[in-house]
Amino acid sequence: MSATVPALPYPFTFDPATTALVVIDMQRDFLEPGGFGESLGNDVEQLRRTIAPTEALLAGCREFGLFIIHTREGHLPDLSDCPPAKLRRGKPSMRIGDPGPRGRILIRGEEGHDIVDELAPAPGEPVIDKPGKGAFYATELGDLLADKGITSLVVVGVTTEVCVHTTVREANDRGYECLVLSDCVGSYFPEFQRVGLEMVAAQGGIFGWVATSTDFLQALREAKVPV
Ligand code: C5J
């Protein structure tokens, strides 16, 4: 069974049985007022506008039985999985592992590292903890997708130009067809959001396709995927 979504640069056709929704890094420290992202001077509203459409997307995908995976960016408490070059980045005293407004910054198990309540994973939905920006690097994601026979990915989350882009590029190089949902990805920088989306679909879809979540859900409904 296949479904088709109006998309850029041209309609995206997928089989729901071999498609997974990948929700990238919808973590408190990136999205919540008072979190790490805001403490760096970022306007978290630029990311928070993705929460409501992603909530509706998750509900629709669960209803249609789509395979759903969540990711979180972060590191082990002893930082042994954090390359020194990554550790050195950022503002002094606001680096990975330092105390932040919601616990140690980007450390697994800390309050700020977890996914926002609105988008909490449902029982059985895998959560991939990743040390890098891309969801494939140093994780079990590739094996998990291969085991399930997944060939297409619908990618949402934050931030558009960093972890969403890196994951889509990694996936594209591994042969996955990737659809990015524009209203469910967010950047602190409106210009990066616009250009980030344009880059995905440029040159005939160099990394993938871009559509809206409402069009994607409508395509699932029209495909009459069994619940
Ligand atoms: C993500 C980041 N998730 N911007 N991380 O994009 O550092």
- pLDDT, tens digit (0-9, with 9 covering 90-100), for 129-160: 999 999 999 999 999 999 999 999 999 999 99
129 beta partners: 72
Question: In the predicted model, what is the mean pLDDT of residues 14-42?
Answer: 94
| Exposed/middle/buried for residue 110 (C-beta within 10 Å: 0-12, 13-18, 19+) | buried
- Tell me the best of 26, 28, 30 to mutate to test the pocket of ligand 1, counting ligand atoms within 8 Å of each CB and taking the most: 30
Say what the pTM is. Answer: 0.97
**pLDDT band at residue 101 under the 50/70/90 scheme:** confident
With tokens 């026979």, the residue in question is 149
- Mark whether 25 is an active-site residue: yes
* Centroid of chain to Cα 51: 12
**pLDDT band at residue 226 under the 50/70/90 scheme:** low
pLDDT of residue 224: 67
- Mark whether 91 is an active-site residue: no
How far apart, in whole angstroms, are the C-alpha atoms of residue 210 and residue 200? 7
159 Cα nearest atom in ligand 1: 6
- Tell me the best of 73, 86, 113 to mutate to test the pocket of ligand 1, counting ligand atoms within 8 Å of each CB and taking the most: 73
